[in-house]
């Protein structure tokens, strides 16, 4: 086979160019220490490196979200811990004020300090982060969570919605603590009353406290269903307690109705989850015998009951019909009241009408959450979770009504402090019965302060658990990120020694091919002339 001079030239030139290209590429690898400069260098490796880079970018976002969770937790925990400290001081002032040795001036000084503590606590509840966002307002962080109303009460203006952040594959954490979670779920222990029904004028011989709920479960299961109760004084003398059906339930009192009629000291007893205090203020003659005491206390009765719950209904402006709810109230039967206390959403509700009836949801309505109550028909009378509604007109499918509730089962600490301040401002010097009533109200308020601290401790624990989960996930994310970097470098990082050796070899090959090319270029007739 004959090979032309041109073919020899072209082959030599092509070989030289290939060797030169390899030499240049290896030179770039040595200088950059990167063996994957273009996708063509290693298509499979390039695809994997891109995938790892994308995952690491997501891990960086997770790291940012974890930082937000940690910062929010640190800020809210600092505020809540400071509030717990302030509430502890408030409790000390309340206990001190209940001391019979204090005067009105002493209690007024304590009241003034409580005013300062209340202002400090409200400021902490309305804490802001470095960007001016309110920490406890929920998802609506632009407005302060707490305001003082014109009537002197304090109310929560935020929402119950958390702010969810993804901190890992499949792991989403709430990044905030809402005021609803931290302050609005504190159990209200002062939601019962003892009202003198006979005689018409209180002569001070008996002082019966309003009571303090010490066991919410017993209160809901037993006390609510039997109210109102009648407490009277009978032979012995001793107390007789009857429920709303006239049944004798005295045995449910921890003292079985017994008390010391000869002592004016506070005598405590528990009735169906409610702690009550009794003071007997008889004269020396009346205390001289059981008969005299019985005569002094006969025809004296009290009504024991819970603070009545209240609800209101507001028509949604987006409703298509003109139907309205003209009346909203808690049912009056024991069954309805027990159902209301146990089932009606404490944070308010949304009453929605369907094509065949109505559904009651906890507010705010979230996708997937079932209704707490359902029913058929459109009125005019409908019942839901122990509440009664009177409907005027015919609601259409999709119509909604916002239901605000006041179950008195919870009470925020600002309003509790207002009650305490008001009580301490009452003058009781030289008024033994007034002092007994003050001491009873302060003792009951201590329960609310304690439940407020417990709720804060629960909120701190919950936020701490979220922070721990975020930190643990951050450790996992860092490990994944490190592994990704290591794997990526197997495709991209060059072995300096191997590359330098290869560069030397390719340089020698390039020089050899260059000599071959030069010799081949002389193989023509003109070079022989």
pLDDT digits over 134-150, tens only? 999 988 888 899 998 88
Please, what's the b/e burial string for 264-288 (b: 16 or more CB within 10 A of its CB; e: otherwise)?
beebebbbbbbbbbbbbbbeeebbe
| Residue 34: predicted pLDDT | 64
243 has pLDDT over 80? yes
The span from the CA of 10 to the CA of 4, in Å, is 10
pLDDT of 248: 96
pLDDT for residue 507 is more than 80: no
pLDDT, mean of residues 411-437:
91
- Same domain for 271 and 354: no
Tokens representing residue 435 in the block: 């002092």
Residue 392 β-bridge partners:
324
pLDDT category of residue 431 using cuts at 50, 70 and 90: confident
> Residue 510 sits in which domain range?
1-35+503-529
Q: Work out the angle at residue 111's Cα, subtended by the Cα atoms of residues 106 and 112, and round it to the nearest 5 degrees.
A: 100
Query: Has residue 85 been placed in a domain?
Result: no
Same domain assignment for residues 274 and 213: yes
Q: Do the strands 164-168 and 301-306 form a parallel or antiparallel pair, or are they unpaired?
A: unpaired
Question: Percentage of the chain with pLDDT > 90?
Answer: 31
Q: Identify whether 103 is part of a domain.
A: no
Strands 192-198 and 301-306: antiparallel
pLDDT, mean of residues 459-465:
91
> Starting at the edge strand that comes first in sequence, how are the strands of the sheet with 238-242 ordered?
192-198, 301-306, 229-234, 238-242
Average pLDDT (32-59) is 70
How confident is the model at residue 338, as a pLDDT?
77
Pick the range with the lowest mean pLDDT from 98-107, 176-185, 220-229, 340-349. 340-349
Co-location of 235 and 333 in the same domain? no
Looking at residue 280, its pLDDT comes to 93
Considering the domain architecture, whether residues 196 and 303 belong to the same structural domain is answered as yes
What is the rounded average pLDDT of the residues 52-57? 76
Confidence of residue 15 (pLDDT cuts 50, 70, 90): low
Residue ranges with strand state E in 272-380: 274-280, 301-306, 310-315, 324-330, 349-353, 357-362, 373-376
Residue 304 has pLDDT above 90, yes or no: yes
Chain mean pLDDT for the chain: 84
Do 291 and 319 lie in a common domain?
no
Helix then strand then coil, % of the chain, to nearest 5: 45, 20, 30
Mean pLDDT of 108-137: 94
Helical segments of 183-298, H only: 216-218, 224-226, 284-287, 290-297
Per-residue confidence (pLDDT) for residue 331, from 0 to 100: 82
Are residue 268 and residue 294 in the same domain, yes or no?
yes
**Tokens 């039997």 sit on residue:** 226
SS3 404: strand
Domain identity same for 394 and 297 = no
Taking residues 65-73, what's their average pLDDT? 89
What is the pLDDT, as a whole number, of residue 416?
93
On whether residue 12 sits in a domain, the answer given is: yes
**pLDDT (mean) for 4-16:** 61
Using the 3D structure, point to which of 307, 332, 356 is the last residue of a domain.
Answer: 307
Residue 87, in any domain of the structure: no
pLDDT of 231 strictly over 90:
yes
Structural domain includes residue 326: yes
In whole angstroms, give the CA distance from residue 286 to residue 416.
38
Per-residue pLDDT, 403 = 85
Q: What are the CA-CA distances from residue 337 to residues 121, 220, 313, 435 (Å)?
A: 34, 10, 18, 34
Do 303 and 211 fall into the same domain? yes
Among 82-86, 264-268, 357-361, name the most confident range. Answer: 82-86
**Whats the size of the chain, residue-wise?**
529
Number of domains in the chain: 3
Residue 510, in any domain of the structure: yes
Quick one: average pLDDT of 32-61? 71
- DSSP for 269-284? EEETTEEEEEEE---H
- Name 276's bridge partners: 269
Q: What is the DSSP letter of 65?
A: H
Instruction: Tell whether 295 and 383 lie within a shared domain.
Output: no
Residues in CB range of 113: below 8 A, 6 or more apart = 93
Whether residues 402 and 508 fall in one domain: no
Looking at residue 486, what DSSP letter applies?
Answer: H
CA distance 15 to 4: 17
Q: Terminus-to-terminus CA distance in the chain, angstroms?
A: 26
**3-state SS assignment for residue 232:** strand
Q: How far apart are CA 261 and CA 335, in angstroms?
A: 36
Q: Where among 283, 307, 331 does a domain terminate?
A: 307
Whether 495 shows a pLDDT value over 60: the answer reads: no
- The most confident of the ranges 16-30, 243-257, 485-499 is 243-257
Q: What is the pTM of this model?
A: 0.71
Of 307, 325, 357, the one marking the end of a domain is 307
The answer to whether 442 touches 413, Cβ cutoff 8 Å, is no
Q: Which of 202-211, 363-372, 425-434 bottoms out in mean pLDDT, i.e. has the lowest?
A: 363-372
Structural domain contains residue 210: yes
Give the E-state strand segments of 316-399 in sequence order: 324-330, 349-353, 357-362, 373-376, 381-384, 387-392
Distance CA 48, CA 63 (A): 22
* Same structural domain, 198 and 285: yes
pLDDT value for 362: 84
CB atoms within 10 A of CB 167: 27
Residue 91 pLDDT grade (very low, low, confident, very high; cuts 50, 70, 90) = very high
Mean pLDDT of 375-395: 88
pLDDT at residue 191 is higher than 70? yes
> Does a structural domain hold residue 439?
no
Q: Are residues 332 and 241 in the same domain?
A: no
């Amino acid at each position: 086979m004959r090979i032309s001079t041109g073919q020899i030239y072209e082959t030599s030139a092509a070989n030289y160019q290939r060797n030169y290209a390899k030499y240049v590429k290896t030179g770039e690898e040595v200088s950059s220490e990167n063996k994957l400069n273009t996708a063509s260098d290693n298509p499979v490796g390039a695809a994997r490196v891109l995938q790892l880079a994308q995952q690491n970018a997501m891990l960086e976002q997770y790291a940012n979200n974890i930082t937000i969770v940690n910062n929010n937790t640190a800020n809210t925990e600092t505020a809540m811990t400071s509030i717990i400290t302030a509430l502890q001081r408030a409790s000390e002032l309340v206990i001190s004020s209940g001391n019979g040795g204090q005067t009105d001036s002493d209690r007024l000084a304590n009241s003034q300090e409580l005013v300062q503590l209340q202002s400090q606590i409200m400021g902490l509840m309305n804490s802001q982060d470095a960007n001016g966002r309110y920490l406890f307002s929920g998802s609506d962080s632009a407005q302060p969570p707490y305001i003082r109303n014109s009537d002197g009460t304090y109310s929560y203006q935020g929402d119950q919605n958390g702010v969810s952040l993804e901190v890992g594959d499949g792991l989403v954490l709430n990044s905030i603590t809402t005021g609803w979670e931290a302050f609005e779920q504190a159990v209200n222990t002062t939601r019962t009353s003892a009202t003198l029904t006979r005689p018409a004028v209180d002569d001070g011989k008996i002082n019966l406290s309003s009571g303090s709920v010490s066991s919410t479960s017993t209160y809901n299961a037993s006390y609510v269903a039997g109210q109102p109760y009648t407490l009277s004084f009978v032979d012995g003398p001793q107390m007789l307690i009857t429920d709303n059906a006239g049944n004798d339930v005295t045995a449910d009192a921890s003292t079985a109705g017994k008390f010391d009629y000869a002592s004016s000291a506070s005598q405590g007893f528990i009735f169906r989850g409610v702690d009550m205090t009794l003071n007997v203020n008889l004269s020396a003659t009346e205390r001289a015998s059981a008969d005299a005491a019985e005569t002094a206390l006969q025809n004296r009765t009290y009504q024991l009951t819970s603070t009545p719950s209240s609800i209101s209904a507001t028509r949604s402006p987006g409703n298509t019909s003109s139907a309205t709810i003209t009346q909203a109230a808690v049912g009056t039967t024991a069954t309805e009241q027990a159902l209301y206390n146990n089932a009606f959403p404490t944070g308010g509700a949304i009453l929605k009408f369907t094509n065949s009836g109505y559904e009651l949801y906890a507010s705010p309505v979230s996708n997937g959450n079932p209704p707490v109550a359902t029913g058929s028909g459109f009125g005019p009378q409908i019942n839901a979770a122990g509440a009664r509604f009177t409907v005027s007109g015919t609601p259409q499918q999709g119509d909604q009504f916002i239901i605000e509730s006041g179950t008195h089962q919870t009470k925020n600490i600002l309003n509790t402090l207002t009650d305490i301040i008001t009580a301490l401002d009452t003058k009781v010097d030289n008024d033994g019965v007034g002092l007994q009533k003050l001491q009873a109200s302060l003792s009951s308020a201590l329960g609310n302060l304690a439940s407020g601290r417990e709720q804060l401790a629960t909120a701190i624990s919950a936020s701490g658990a979220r922070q721990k989960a975020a930190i643990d996930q951050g450790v996992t994310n860092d490990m994944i990120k490190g592994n990704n970097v290591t794997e990526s470098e197997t495709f991209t990082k060059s072995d300096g020694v191997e590359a330098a050796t290869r560069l030397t070899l390719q340089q020698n090959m390039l020089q050899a091919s260059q000599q071959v090319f030069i010799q081949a270029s002389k193989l023509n007739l003109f070079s022989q002339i």
